[in-house]
Amino acid sequence: QGYYTRGGGIGESGDFVTSPEISQIFGELIGIWYISEWIATGKPKAFRLVELGPGRGTLTDDILRVFNQLASLLSKCDVSIHLVEVSPKLSEIQALMLTGGKVQSNPEDNSAYMKGISKTGIPIFWYKDVQDVPAGYSFYLAHEFFDALPIHKFQRTEKGWREVLVDIDPEVHDQLRFVLSPSSTPATENFIQPEETRDHVEVCPDAGVIIQRLACRIEKEGGAALIADYGHDGTKTDTFRGFHNHKLHDVLRAPGTADLTADVDFSYLRKMTQGRTATLGPIKQREFLKNMGVDLRLQVLLQNSRDTATREQLLRSYDMLMNPTKMGDCFNFFALLPHHRLVHPDKKHKPESKSPIAPVAGFGELLLK
Q: Where are the domains of the chain?
A: 3-148+213-341, 152-203
pLDDT value, residue 11 = 63
Backbone torsions φ then ψ of 260, nearest 5 degrees: -105, 140
Query: CA quadruple 213, 219, 220, 226: dihedral positive or negative?
Result: positive
pLDDT value, residue 202 = 98
pLDDT value, residue 7 = 64
pLDDT value, residue 367 = 82
CA distance 67 to 34: 10
CA distances 160 to 87, 152, 178, 181, Å, are: 39, 16, 18, 11
Contacts made by residues 191-194, CB under 8 angstroms, sequence distance 24+: 191/152, 191/154, 192/154, 192/161, 193/271
Query: Residue 277 in contact with residue 218, Cβ under 8 Å?
Result: yes
pLDDT tens per residue across span 62-109: 999 999 999 999 999 999 999 999 999 999 999 999 999 889 987 776
Using DSSP's 3-state secondary structure scheme, residue 279 falls into strand
| Helix and strand totals (H; E) in the chain | 10, 17
pTM of the model: 0.93
pLDDT value, residue 331 = 96
pLDDT value, residue 246 = 81
CA distance 215 to 211: 6
CA distances 258 to 15, 145, 167, 208, Å, are: 7, 16, 19, 24
How are strands ordered across the β-sheet holding 241-244? 247-249, 241-244, 259-261
Contacts made by residues 189-195, CB under 8 angstroms, sequence distance 24+: 191/152, 191/154, 192/154, 192/161, 193/271
pLDDT tens per residue across span 134-170: 999 999 999 999 999 999 999 999 999 999 999 999 9
Q: Label residue 304 exposed, middle or buried (CB < 10 Å: 0-12, 13-18, 19+).
A: exposed
Stretches where the chain sits below pLDDT 70 are: 1, 6-16, 109, 344-355
Q: What is the DSSP letter of 278?
A: E
pLDDT value, residue 123 = 97
pLDDT value, residue 227 = 98
Question: Does domain 3-148+213-341 bear CATH number 3.40.50.12710?
Answer: yes
